[in-house]
Structure 1
Amino acid sequence: MDTLVPATTGSATLLGIGALVLLVVVVTLWQSVRFVDAYDREALTVFGEYRKLLEPGLNVIPPFVSRTYRFDMRTQTIDVPQQEAITRDNSPVTADAVVYIRVMDAKRAFLEVDDYMPAVSNLAQTTLRAVLGDMELDDTLSRREKINARIREELDEPTDEWGIRVESVEVREVTPSPDVKGAMEKQTSAERTRRAMILEAQGERRSAVEKAEGDKQSNIIRAQGEKQSQILEAQGDAISTVLRAKSAESMGERAVIDKGMETLSEIGQGESTTFVLPQELSSLVGRYGKHLTGSDVATDDGTLDSLEFDEETRELIGLDDIAEMIGEIDAEAEMDVEAMERQAQAIKEGQDVGADETVDRSESPESAE
């Protein structure tokens, strides 16, 4: 029994040493291998000295004496806290922003700046205050693009030295102080009231102009209608006068014929067999009657039937001229009515019809004739 105790103790010792060696080997292998994600880069230092950037995938590094620093190569967002500033026209405002950055050179981001995220955030805060202080209040509220561009320009130069690129800057909100905001609301309300009054006055003026224009066109059409009525009335009076004159002339000739016939009757009752007829009487009798035998005077029922006028008689009493004049008057009246209807339709549709555009057909060469 005494000889077995040392053997057991020695085996346990060897087993412990083997386990320790195995543990050391595992730890050493674990420390020698570094896995890097696809969107990351890691800076490697050995004994505090920068060596290289570890690329995505499996990397072998010196164990126990190496350290790595991870850098995300994707676009990152930095919230800029709300900042208070005084504009160039002494108006207090508050504003906040968002900055989008990307690490372009991990080595410079590791060596040139302690921690690039808070560094960019602090730089963006001071730049935002400086840009707002260099602008007037109206520009800070209406020209967001200008503020974004100026902040980005101010951030570009220092961040380039850090290996950081500023991709975009967006000012989310610019808020004036409560007092300034209340004054702006009053100003906006007064401006809206002024515009409403201007629009109302313009509407009333336009309505008055259109009403006056409508009255003008109505008066023009009414005057034209009265003018046409007077022209037609005058032409009717002229035709009536012509007809009365022609009728009087015809009746005069008829009276001469009747008187001549009475004279002939008296002569026929006398004893003389020689008759002398005036040339005028024979001409008039030839116009209105036929020879004694077969004339329209001798009829069975004793009534007098009218015959068609010959060309000479129609020319004498002017029947053809009267028909032509009546036809011209009807055509002219029809044309004037159509012109007035067109003008009325144009006024109804809102066209600007002037008095100089009115077609005065009564003064045309045809009407003058």
Structure 2
Amino acid sequence: MNELVATVLQLEDPGIDPMLFIGALVLAVAAITVWQMVEIVDAYNRGALTVFGEYRKLLQPGLNIVPPFVSRVYTFDMRTQTIDVPTQEAITRDNSPVTADAVVYIRVMDAKRAFLEVDEYKNAVSNLAQTTLRAVLGDMELDDTLSRREMINERIRQELDEPTDEWGIRVESVEVREVTPSPDVKGAMEQQTSAERKRRAMILEAQGERRSAVEKAEGEKQSNIIRAQGEKQSQILEAQGDSISTVLRAKSAESMGERAVIDKGMDALENIGQSESTTFVMPQELTSMVGRYGKHLSGSDVQQQDRQLESLDFDDETRELIGLDDISKILGEIDEELEMDVEEMEKEAQAIQEGEDMGQSPDSIDVPRDEEETPGEESEVDSQ
């Protein structure tokens, strides 16, 4: 246009040919006409064409030819657009004041309806979203507005769908960015949260103390069991030793009685030998006892010239009476029991040592319940 004005000013010079001026003017008008006839639409836009104010058609992306000087083109962005909803104040169902803001994502689906059915569709959607946000928040309680954000978004989107569909606009999603209660309500909520956390801390502390007391009692119980087991073993060994000692003393007294009989018999034989009589009468029990003890004590029999005197072994009744078999048997059993008790005590000591090495207290070592002392066992020890 500037060039055209400059050309016209130059043509006003009297020295210029009028035909040249007219030709330049026609050329300028033709250029302006062509410029007005060509309309270029971007790929993401649609254009609503009006001629003399009357809607004609939608212009597609690319180069479009329109009537010059009498047409206008209104472009519409067909991409997803963002509309910020200003902060809104609302009163919830339980009379708690809150403030909230949101973001609405829309897309123009029908440019013709967006052009003909609504004026400034962005402002229309924003105003509708504000009123819908206040209505949705007022229909909910405070706790729901703070925790059920997804439900608020969905309800607002559903409320916006019907009217915006008539405008050729689709609401793709609604996101409530923040819901803030009043300062007084917020302070009360913080106090409630603090009290709830203190209550949970007290519960956890009480549970920890209870568990510690249970474990301590269990450890003391195990310690008492081990201590009682040791005392029981000691009492059993002591009772067995007393019993064996009593048996040995009885057997020794019985043996000494027989030896006294033999000694008396030998004294009598000595007195008889000093007498002048040649005929002697000896009790059969004395001769048999002398022969038996002679065989057991010396390992040889008394010989008279070339003939060995016959002596008899202790019969079963006499062996049972003086306890020769029982003494060895009892001594063998005592040795076996002592070895077993020593092995068990070594195992328990090793288990306790391993528990201490692993950081476990001796009281926590499990003792089999079948080894606990029963009244029957104590009575058996007493009877022995």
TM beyond 0.5: yes
Q: Aligned with 1:278: secondary structure?
A: helix
Q: CA deviation at 1:267?
A: 4.4
In the alignment, the residues of structure 1 paired with residue 363 and residue 348 of structure 2 have an alpha-carbon distance, to the nearest angstrom, of: 17
> Which whole-Å CA distance do the structure 2 matches of 1:317 and 1:359 have between them?
29
The equivalent residue for 2:225 is: 220
Report the Cα offset of residue 265 of structure 1.
4.4
Tell me if 1:359 matches 2:371.
yes
What amino acid is the match of 1:184?
A: M
- Tell me the percent identity: 68
- Tell me which residue corresponds to 2:147: 142
What does 1:64-79 align with in structure 2 at a 5 Å threshold?
64-79=69-84
What amino acid is the match of 2:244? I
Is the Cα–Cα contact under 8 Å of residues 140 and 147 in structure 1 kept in the other structure?
yes
Match of 1:104 in 2: 109
Please name the residue that 2:9 is paired with.
none
* Structure-1 separation of matches of 2:59 and 2:189: 57
CA shift for structure 1 position 190 = 2.8
Q: Which residue of 2 aligns with 1:185?
A: 190
For residues 18-57 of structure 1, what are the structure 2 equivalents within 5 Å?
18-57=23-62
Once the 2 structures are TM-superposed, how far is the Cα of residue 43 of structure 1 from its aligned partner? 1.9
Q: Which moved more, 1:103-112 or 1:343-352?
A: 343-352
Aligned to 2:343: 334
Amino acid at match of 1:122: N
Summarize deviations over 1:48-102 as a string: whole Å, max 9, x none: 3333322222222222222211111222111110000000000111111111112
Bigger shift: residues 314-323 or 42-51: 314-323
Indicate the residue corresponding to 1:305 in structure 2. Answer: none
Structure 2: tracts of 5 or more residues without a match: 1-12, 304-318
Does the residue aligned with 1:52 lie in a helix, a strand or coil? strand
CA distance in 1, matches of 2:219, 2:323: 51
Q: Is 1:198 the equivalent of 2:217?
A: no
The one of 89, 93, 102 aligned to 1:88? 93
Out of 159, 174, 178, the position equivalent to 1:173 is 178
Does the Cα contact within 8 Å between 1:73 and 1:103 map onto a contact in 2? Answer: yes
Matched residue, 2:128: 123
Q: Cα–Cα, structure 1 residues 270 and 18, in superposed 2: closer, same or farther, change >3 Å?
A: farther
* Partner residue in 1 for 2:241: 236
On the 8 A contact 1:314/1:320 being kept in 2, the answer is no
Task: Note if 1:284 corresponds to 2:293.
Answer: yes
- Partners of 2:41 and 2:269 lie apart in 1 by 152
TM-score between the two structures when normalised by the length of structure 1? 0.79
SS in 2 for 1:169: strand
> Which residue type is aligned with residue 357 of structure 1?
R
**How many residue pairs were aligned?**
343
What one-letter code is carried by the residue in structure 2 that aligns with 1:236? Answer: G
Gaps of 5+ in 1: 1-7, 295-311
**1:257–1:284 Cα contact (<8 Å) kept:** no
Q: Distance in 2 between matches of 1:13 and 1:258?
A: 185
Give 1:131 deviation, angstroms. 0.7
CA contact (8 A) 2:291 2:301 kept: no
Q: In the aligned structure 2, how far is the partner of 1:211 from the partner of 1:81?
A: 63
Distance 2:261 2:66 in 1: 153
Look up the SS of the partner of 2:371 in the other structure: coil
Letter in 2 for 1:334: E
Distance, in Å, in 2 between the alignment partners of 1:42 and 1:139 is 44
Say whether the 8 Å CA contact 2:229–2:373 is kept in structure 1. no
Q: Residues 50 and 315 of structure 1: is their aligned pair in 2 closer, same or farther, counting only changes over 3 Å?
A: farther
Q: What is the SS of the residue equivalent to 2:171? A: strand
SS at 2:27's partner residue?
helix
**Contact 1:332-1:361 within 8 A present in 2 as well:** no
Equivalent AA in structure 1 for residue 221 of structure 2: K
Q: Is the 8 A contact 2:43 2:61 kept in 1?
A: yes
Displacement of 1:241: 2.3
Contact 1:336 1:361 in 2 (8 A): no
Which of residues 60, 65, 80 in structure 2 aligns to 1:60? 65
